[in-house]
A and B are shown apart, each in its own frame.
Chain A
Amino acid sequence: MSNAIPVELASLLEAADAAARDRAWDRFVSANTRLLLHTARTTCREHDAAMDAYAYLLEALRQDDYRRLRAFAANGRSRFTTWLVVVARRLCVDHHRQRYGRPRGDAPSAEQEHAARRRLLDLVAVDLDSALPPDGAVADPQSQLEAEEVHRALAAAVGDLGPRDRLLLKLRFEDDAPVREIARLLDFASPFHVYRRLNAVCALLRRALRRRGVEEPPL
């Protein structure tokens, strides 16, 4: 893939004097303002916050003689627009955090992680009824131990998977990402191929759990 530098960026970085740089900057902003605005609006839902973030990221891109833009010109492997969206989003997030602090919902909660493991276990067809108490009930020590053992075995089995399969499981069960989106991100040919791989991974996990002594209940 070509990492060709857009003409507006090249003109900006090669501008000979301040006047030429100002003109080139105006052209660069004009060429990219829609993408930058769209990124700001996607990151900051509220209109005023998005406009503030947009102004902030323009200023940040100009800082230190366009240091960030020069870094792309020197090292960029991707398309410029892809890189620009990444940097613009990070700048918007930084701006938002500086003003409002880090949102509480950033990392998945313990409950969310537990729910994700539960969904995965359901798919792997391990019977949890005997291992986990009904919601709200107090588990007896034996049941609790069995449940912890199942979870540990599952965590170990997932840890033995390749990175792509682990990412597939995280996207599907922890992030609840739509299968179509997963197909695009992980470069599957179609959502159907995602389901096929999920089935194959679950079969791997079932075998791994059996090796660790976790058996499926008789039908």
Chain B
Amino acid sequence: MTGTNGTLPMTGNADPVLPHLENTEVAAYLDKVLSPADRSRVEGHLADCAECRAEVREVAQVLGSRTVPRRWIVIGTMAAAAVVAGLLLAPGARVRTEAGGAPRFREGAEGVPAIAVVAPGESTAVAAEAVVFTWRAAAAEAHYQVRVLDATGGVVWTVETHDTTVSLPRTVTLERAGAYFWYVDALLADGGTATSGAHSFRVMR
């Protein structure tokens, strides 16, 4: 779409548009990687252009209100099973796999609120035909993402919702007697996040 790489586009009822900053210039300015001459030129434009100034301020606010990035730990395949069991007891831990099959764990960032799960609880057995995930609301107007993983950390199912309960669709088949994990992340209205941490469950025979 024209406009998003340089000038802002004209809509049907817009005034003629003056040249605006390129998106790369705005980003480079905010990251303070422009040369002194480019920085001076961009600041000159910002002094004269209310629209670009508003853009810079809003982008800075979005970036400034992000949560702290989480730490990642990569471990060898041989220790995978034991570490999975151990880390699942810690709140905020979850499992992912890399291409080679080695699980990769993400520890929750300090201060990230925990979401309380209702069902299935830790190590609960569930019927394959009726798997329902339920949790307590993190906050009003929160946006949730639910993930179900198999024992190797592979994502079996993921869904986004504003509700606090979701049912596994019939199109997703879980192996009987299989071990699975699930967790829910929340994006809050103020841009903050919350997480339930990974919880295990198993499917009845």
Q: Which residue numbers of A lie inside 8 Å of B, CB to CB?
A: 1, 3, 30, 33-35, 37-39, 41-43, 47, 60, 63, 68, 71-72, 75-79, 81-83, 85-87, 89-91, 93-94, 97-98, 101-102, 106-108, 162-164, 166-167, 169-171, 174-175, 177, 181, 184-187
Contacts of B48 in A (CB 8 A): 166
Q: Which of A34, A35, A77, A78 has the most CB of B within 10 A?
A: A78
- Given A68-B4, A78-B28, A102-B14; A89-B62 close (CB under 8 Å): yes
The reply to whether B5 and A78 contact each other, CB–CB distance below 8 Å, is no
The reply to whether A63 and B59 contact each other, CB–CB distance below 8 Å, is no
- Given A43-B58, A174-B50, A184-B60; A78-B4 close (CB under 8 Å): no
Q: Which of B14, B15, B27, B53 has the most CB of A within 10 A?
A: B27
Bound CA span A195–B59, Å? 24
Bound CA span A164–B63, Å? 22
B114-148 interface bits toward A, Cβ cutoff 8 Å, 1 = contact, 0 = none? 00000000000000000000000000010101000
14 A-B residue pairs with Cβ-Cβ distance under 8 Å, sorted by A, are: A30-B158, A37-B187, A38-B62, A41-B191, A81-B66, A85-B62, A86-B23, A87-B23, A90-B23, A94-B8, A102-B11, A164-B43, A166-B44, A169-B47
Shortest distance between the CB of A65 and any CB in chain B (Å): 14
The reply to whether B56 and A185 contact each other, CB–CB distance below 8 Å, is yes
Contacts of B4 in A (CB 8 A): 60, 68, 87, 90-91, 94
The reply to whether B64 and A184 contact each other, CB–CB distance below 8 Å, is yes
Contacts of B59 in A (CB 8 A): 82, 85-86, 89
B184-205 interface bits toward A, Cβ cutoff 8 Å, 1 = contact, 0 = none? 0001010101000000000000
- Given A42-B62, A102-B13; A82-B27 close (CB under 8 Å): yes
The reply to whether A185 and B60 contact each other, CB–CB distance below 8 Å, is yes
Q: Which of B5, B12, B47, B57 has the most CB of A within 10 A?
A: B47
In the complex, residue of chain A having the shortest beta-carbon distance to the beta carbon of B162: A47
Residues of B in contact with A, size category: 35 or more
In the complex, residue of chain B having the shortest beta-carbon distance to the beta carbon of A161: B47
The reply to whether B51 and A81 contact each other, CB–CB distance below 8 Å, is no
- CB contact between A163 and one of B14, B31, B44, B64 (< 8 Å): that residue: B44
Shortest distance between the CB of B43 and any CB in chain A (Å): 4
Interface check B170, CB cutoff 8 A: no
Shortest distance between the CB of A180 and any CB in chain B (Å): 11
Bound CA span A14–B54, Å? 35
- CB contact between A107 and one of B40, B43, B44, B51 (< 8 Å): that residue: B51
Q: A87-B4, A163-B43, A184-B64 are in contact. List 10 more A-B contacts (CB 8 A).
A: A38-B65, A77-B24, A79-B27, A102-B13, A163-B44, A167-B46, A169-B47, A170-B46, A181-B57, A185-B56
The reply to whether A187 and B47 contact each other, CB–CB distance below 8 Å, is no
Bound CA span A60–B3, Å? 12
Taking CB atoms and an 8 Å cut-off, the chain B residues in 1-54 that contact chain A are 1, 3-5, 8-9, 11-15, 23-24, 26-28, 30-34, 40-41, 43-44, 46-48, 50-51, 53-54
Interface check B61, CB cutoff 8 A: yes
Interface check B163, CB cutoff 8 A: no
Interface check B55, CB cutoff 8 A: yes
In the complex, residue of chain B having the shortest beta-carbon distance to the beta carbon of A97: B11
Contacts of A169 in B (CB 8 A): 47
